Structure 1
Amino acid sequence: MRAVVQKTLRSSVTSDGVPVGSAKSGLTVLLGVSVNDTEADVRYMAEKIVHLRIFEDEAGKLNHSLLDEGGEMLVISQFTLYGDARHGRRPSYIEAAKPEQAEALYEQFVAAVRAFGVTVATGRFRTHMVVSLENDGPVTLLVDSKKNF
């Protein structure tokens, strides 16, 4: 699994012009699922992301996690995170999971984050979405369950 994790003041998503999810201060996560991902990747990513120390403490250092802050999360499926643009001009999506596998693991990720007590909003899987957010910091991280980066 791959994720773009952004610390946000607020975020929202619409699908076909209809609001489907929003989160207050916390994290906005764009989540991609690969053909090789399993439940172990789900557990790793959920635990890693909710515990990332990217919120300021009393001294102004990035020392608190989403759990420490009681923040919310908006999770958006993003198969294009597995786009390979190294050759030619059209990215290859061969490493992205098929929709059925991706949706199942995406839903497991959302459930795993909720199990930590986090309020989670989502987009609508397999639809065209428009995501709006206010990046705070800005703080943006890439997280990969296979630790490729």
Structure 2
Amino acid sequence: MILITDDLRARLLANGAVATGTNHVPVVKLFNPVGAATWLLTELDADGDTLFGLCDLGFGFPELGSVSLAELQSVKGPLGLGIERDHHFAPRYPLSVYAEAARIAGHITEAERLLQHAAATLALSQFELPPDAADDKRR
């Protein structure tokens, strides 16, 4: 599977070219299909390998940081399965909201109530969207 398409790469690079400290909306969600690791990525450095975003290796301590695209592409788990891209991920908030929700939950989450709470905690409620019943069925 191609983790980062040309379109996603262009968006990640554009975000990476903006001044640091920008609160981007995640561009892509990657995950380990046989484990708890998840990455919400917002930026790609000009080196074409260093991604930035919210990283959760499944130990209960998600954190903002960098990860190597080459390393993610090289991961091979049981049955030869590698890291995959979540084709259904539709970001609704900037990365800071996902980070705050992950801090509260102990893992990256897309639970709308938790995201709304995190947005309110960060005083970013203008990013709230109406709840979608289809999202509740996916959780």
Quickly name the TM-score band, shorter chain normalised: under 0.3
Structure with more strand by fraction? 1
TM-score by length of 2: 0.24
